[in-house]
Structures are given as C-alpha cells and as structure tokens.
Amino acid sequence: MSLKTQLLSAQCSTDLTQAAELLKAGEQVAVPTETVYGLAADASNPDAVAGIFTAKGRPANHPLIVHLGDVASITEWATQIPDEAYKLANAFWPGPMTLLLPRAEHVSPVVTGGLDTIGLRVPAQPVLLDLLASHQLAVAAPSANPYKKLSPTTAEQVMHGLGGKIAAVIDGGPCQHGLESTIVDLTKRPFRVLRAGPITASELSTVLGETVDAPEQHDTVVPGNVGSHYQPNTRLQMVAADLSDLPAPHPEKRAALLHFGEAPTRDDLVCIAMPDDAARYGQALYHQLAQADQLGVDEIWLAQPPHGEAWLAVHDRLRRAVS
Ligand code: TXA
Ligand code: MG
C-alpha cells in the first residue's frame, strides 16, 4: 500500500498542529531530532507503534526509544528509577542521551520488543520538544531509515527511504549531531554505555562521580545492535588516512572518496572532503555517505578517521557500515 507522504514544515504552526493530529490519530510521522530523523508514533498506542515496524521492515523484537517532553515524565514509563538517572537527566537532557531503565508495568511489549527495560530520552530539537510538551505526547521513534540502511539526517533522505510508507515528514533542516544518541544502561552496575554517541562515557562519569563503562565494541546482546547496519547500497571500504593504500585506477570503474586534507587528482574519483573535527565529522558522515551512494559510483572509499574517545561513535557506526 502506498500513502501520499506529506512534507510538513517545522516553521509552520498549522503544519505542526497537523503533525500532532496525525500522531494522536495513530499515524507514523518522521520528526527531526538533534541526532538523526526519527520515525515517530504515539508510544501509548500499540497499533500506532506496530506501524513503525511495518514501515521500516524492522524485526518486531528490536526495542524502540520513547521520546518525552520533560524529565518528570520518566516516572510514567519507567520504574525503580535510581538517583543517577536524575543526575544524568539534569545534566544532559534535553539532549542526545538515552537512559535504559526498568519499564513501567503498563508499557506495551510492542514498544520494548518484549524486554523488561525501556530506553527513554528528552530530545533537544526545539520544534519536536515543543510538540511533545505542548500536546503531552510521548513518541516511540527509531531512526527513520528502512531497516539496516543509513540513518537520515535530512527530511529529503527520509522521503527517499520511507516516502509512500508513512503519513508525513516534518522538515526541520539538517540534524545537529548527525549520529544517534548515546545509550546508557542504568539497570545494572557498573553502569555502561551500550551505544557510543555524542555524549562520551567520560562526560557521564564526571557527572556521576563514578566510572561508566564504555566497551570498545557495540554490545551485540541488544537486539537491534546487529553487525551489519547503517549500510549504504554501494560497497564501502576503508582506506588508510594518508591514502597510501588507495586502489589503482580501474579503466571502467569510478569511486567516491571521503578523505581528509588535499584531494588526490584522479579522474576516476569523486572526492568529498571530510571535517577533521570529530563532532563535525559525525554530523557529516551519514549525509556524505548518502550523497556518495546516490552518485552511482562502483565503490565508496573512506579514509580511516583518527582514534580516541571523541571518535568512538564514528568508529562504531563505520565498523558496521563497511561491506
Ligand atoms: O538518537 C537516537 O537515539 C535516535 C533518535 C531518533 O532519537 N533513535 C535511534 O533509535 O537511534 P534506533 O531504534 O534506530 O536505535 C535504538 C537502539 C537500538 O539498537 C535498540 O536495540 C536499542 O536502542 N534499545 C532501545 N530500547 C532498548 C532496550 N529496552 N534495551 C536494550 N536496547 C534498547
Ligand atoms: Mg537505527
């Protein structure tokens, strides 16, 4: 079944009223967040949430993050909330941090993929935050991409992936961070980061005054943290940062190269310069991979980014994006 997906503007109040009406009526609406675009549905309506899985082609046991309009609402969705949750919420919300807590009894298993825990966050994108707060809405929202594909950081990319499958997209411009939120598991000690994101384990540890673990590898026990994910359609390969191992030109093939510094002069390459600062690189990554994907090249080559804590989220996503 194909829907006419409406493109709504985050700047237009009648468009936003319409988005709220669609959500309350059980429709799926893609929304801008400060991390990536999310595919939202009313978290208190299991049928509406089920529609997210259908639109994305996502397996039903992959849990969703519930987005709230304020910190106080966490008591409606979680239980046995430790003091540390409030310390982190007060420091980083609204913002790109998801807290994993024991779920409240009434929460539908459709939202949590049948788990006893729930991921919660208060997003910092002002239009979305206002929409949630002023309509007392809580929305379940995974990234607004078809299953396993690149997460969208513009409304145009959402349309490209999910147009015809959802009721509407709110265009709020490009996302500020460009990578998904940091997920922190507060259900077990020691607390730990399950998915690296814009807020680092050091920043979390500083606020709590205790060490928050940050495994190098993404935790694969979590459904949804699958090995192949975030993939462009074009084959993606990593090359050395200094491009010393760049494959030789091929007479019939063209590649896109995401590089640092000076672009090599080669006719077979479309060169895309990447920022050398971790935050700006993260913001550009999915967008530039999506752009490269649409060039119709045979391969995408990406220069290895630097290491260090600030780059963990980038490396986490790249590990699973490379072919
Ligand atoms: O920045 C973000 O977090 C974006 C925006 C839209 O808010 N959302 C996002 O959602 O990235 P999604 O569904 O694409 O990724 C959420 C991840 C999945 O890997 C899922 O398994 C994990 O969070 N997750 C959600 N709830 C969980 C739970 N109760 N237990 C364990 N993992 C959970
Ligand atoms: Mg996702």
| Cβ(233)–Cβ(161) below 8 Å | no
**Mean pLDDT throughout 91-111?**
98
- 182 Cβ inside 6 Å of ligand 1: no
DSSP 61: T
pTM: predicted TM-score of the whole model, two decimal places: 0.96
Ligand 1 centre and the CA of 65: distance in Å?
Answer: 5
Distance of CA 56 from the midpoint of ligand 2 (Å): 10
**Residue 141: nearest ligand to its CA?**
1
C-beta of 45 in contact with ligand 1 (< 6 A): no
| Confidence grade of residue 302 (pLDDT, cut at 50, 70, 90) | very high
Q: What is the pLDDT of residue 225?
A: 63
- Give tens-digit pLDDT for 24-55: 999 999 999 999 999 999 999 999 999 999 99
pLDDT tens-digit series, residues 121-154: 999 999 999 999 999 999 999 999 999 999 999 9
Confidence of residue 120 (pLDDT cuts 50, 70, 90): very high
Q: Where are the beta strands (DSSP E) in the chain?
A: 6-9, 29-31, 38-42, 65-67, 97-102, 117-121, 139-140, 168-171, 182-185, 192-195, 235-239, 255-259, 269-273, 299-303
- pLDDT band per the 50, 70, 90 thresholds, residue 2: confident
63 Cβ inside 6 Å of ligand 1: yes
Q: Quick one: which of 167, 166, 150, 191 has its CA closest to 287? A: 150
Whole-number pLDDT of residue 228: 72
pLDDT of residue 230: 82
